[in-house]
Chains A and B, each alone.
Chain A
Amino acid sequence: LAKTTQPISMDSYEGQEVNITCSHNNIATNDYITWYQQFPSQGPRFIIQGYKTKVTNEVASLFIPADRKSSTLSLPRVSLSDTAVYYCLVGADNTDKLIFGTGTRLQVFP
């Protein structure tokens, strides 16, 4: 499975848009890009998944350029409750084993 690289931490303020970029230079043709969110003392929670271009749901947007070597998770108008660790994972759609990297620790300030 492709290795991912993310910033270790990011700070933001309430109401701002936050963009977290993940690099996955060795992504394979059949790999999908998935983001998970983890709050303290909880297990990771699925946020969004995409293959190419743009995906949007009620929580976030995921932007994937044509070469798919990176992806950007966009959180619109963050609130204090968005403070969490965000993981970018890459793997084939028929792969069950999730491989977590270090994640990005997002801290939202008032």
Chain B
Amino acid sequence: NAGVTQTPKFRVLKTGQSMTLLCAQDMNHEYMYWYRQDPGMGLRLIHYSVGEGTTAKGEVPDGYNVSRLKKQNFLLGLESAAPSQTSVYFCASSRNRDSGTRNEQFFGPGTRLTVL
């Protein structure tokens, strides 16, 4: 199993450009998440999905859109990139989200995005 994979690993954009980050998981997980990580801060949830075809906003959703057309894929889009979106982006997935033993989130390796 590859687990959670993210493409690309690095990207540099100019202000106003658009791009899509792809997250894929091969664990048949229902839940998928997009986070951003900024220096001196913990991860912050951008959007998440509780199943194919459904998405919901997290803590910092502005400037991002997501889609979950297939269970194994979760796409994060930036329509018009801004320097404030320079960050490291992590995707994660989990089987479910309760407080029991099966809610562990598995993380991808991250995408380092710089917006000039």
Q: Answer yes or no: are A and B bound together in one complex.
A: no
Point out residues on B near A: beta carbons under 8 Å.
none
